[in-house]
Structure 1
Amino acid sequence: MTPATLRTLARYNAWANQRLYEACSRLPGEAISCPRPSFFGSILATLNHVLIGDMLWMGRFTGDESHGIKGLDQILHADFGRLVQARQDMDARIVTFFEAPLGDLEAVFAYRTAAGQDTATPRGLTMLHMFNHATHHRGQVHDMLSATDVPPPALDLVYFLRE
């Protein structure tokens, strides 16, 4: 794990979110929040969960955990326009954070889980997990989009690297 890899993943993360949100913006009416067979139950709920995960991880990395998250399934933004703005703000925050010195990526990183359990993992791998988590749930949204008339966008890392 290198700082350069994490910086690339931060930029990829923002790129993939922008593409996915653009596709979701083309959904008609209430299609973004209608119930769908998925872990979080809708596209909107899944996008909110990804934002929650990023807020939790960034709070842990920066030491500012004043995010007000009450649960992993919390709907922070029921309005898609507000969710888009929050996502863009978070992506800018993530890119800026990862452009700065990241410290010892091999060091043990201690934190408390959302369930309240104290745990520790290597700092760099924990950062990698944040990006992996987002990729996992973007894939779920991608699948839900496949059941609509809006074609899901290509989100593979290699497409980002080619641009």
Structure 2
Amino acid sequence: MATGLPGHAVAMARNNIWANHRLLTACKALTPEEFAAPRTSFFPSLRATLNHILWVDLYYIDALHRDPTVLRRYHDPVPDFPDAASLYDAQIASDRRLLAFCERQTDESLAEGLSLPRPNRTPPPSSVISILEHLFQHQTHHRGQAHAMLAGTRVKPPQLDEFFLAGEQHLRRDELLALGLEPS
């Protein structure tokens, strides 16, 4: 596995796919009505929160790939998967794209500047690693909200914080293999 910043980006992308797998797998036990039920958080439901995560991921990953059409998609409606089972495949596909992007990075490419296009303004460039760090923080932030909302349902929220430590490898091994990822 890569070390330094490239290794960190890969580790965070692997954690992201694993955490989304765990959270969405737990949410699959909810009915579509429970998934969409009003809850207290930044977004009003698990459905809205988890669809928002996917929309932001798609936008940022397209921007990181320097897709010239990314600004047009800024105004696309947020995906609206009605249940976790239908959202799962789209989120994991997005996560795989992010992981593949991170696996191709070098210290030099992570230091490159990139502007994230916004309507009616062009913000100053940020480094690719800063954009990735922001994206990982965004995902963690909203997954935490979804995790708290899930705690208010009949479904037990999964542990999402046992990814990086060597002594916890056995807690993630089978899931990583099921995702086609080598255990770390």
TM bin (shorter chain)? 0.7 to 0.9
Q: Which runs of 5+ in 2 are unaligned?
A: 170-184
What fraction of aligned residue pairs are identical, expressed as a percent?
34
Q: In the alignment, which residue of structure 1 is the partner of 2:150?
A: 145
- Is the CA contact (8 Å cut-off) linking 2:28 and 2:83 kept in structure 1? no
Deviation above 3 Å: which 4+ runs of structure 1?
A: 65-69
1:9 aligns with 2:12: yes
Superposed displacement of residue 108, structure 1: 2.5
Q: Whole-Å Cα distance in 2 between the matches of residues 35 and 75 of structure 1?
A: 18
Where does 1:62-141 land on structure 2 (aligned, <5 Å)? Answer: 62-64=65-67, 65=69, 68-70=73-75, 74-102=78-106, 103-113=108-118, 115-119=119-123, 120-141=125-146
Question: Could you say which structure has the larger radius of gyration?
Answer: 2
Superposed displacement of residue 69, structure 1: 4.6
Q: Which runs of 5+ in 1 are unaligned?
A: none
Q: Name the TM-score, length of structure 2 as normaliser.
A: 0.78
Q: In the alignment, which residue of structure 1 is the partner of 2:26?
A: 23
Q: Which has the higher helix share?
A: 2
Q: Name the TM-score, length of structure 1 as normaliser.
A: 0.87
In 2 relative to 1, CA 109–69 (structure 1 residues): closer, same or farther, beyond 3 Å? closer
Tell me the number of residue pairs that the alignment of Structure 1 and Structure 2 aligns: 159
- Is the CA contact (8 Å cut-off) linking 2:35 and 2:47 kept in structure 1? yes
Q: Whole-Å Cα distance in 2 between the matches of residues 127 and 106 of structure 1?
A: 11
Superposed displacement of residue 76, structure 1: 3.5
CA-atom RMSD, angstroms? 2.0
Give 3-state SS (helix, strand or coil) of 1:90's partner: helix
Superposed displacement of residue 75, structure 1: 3.5
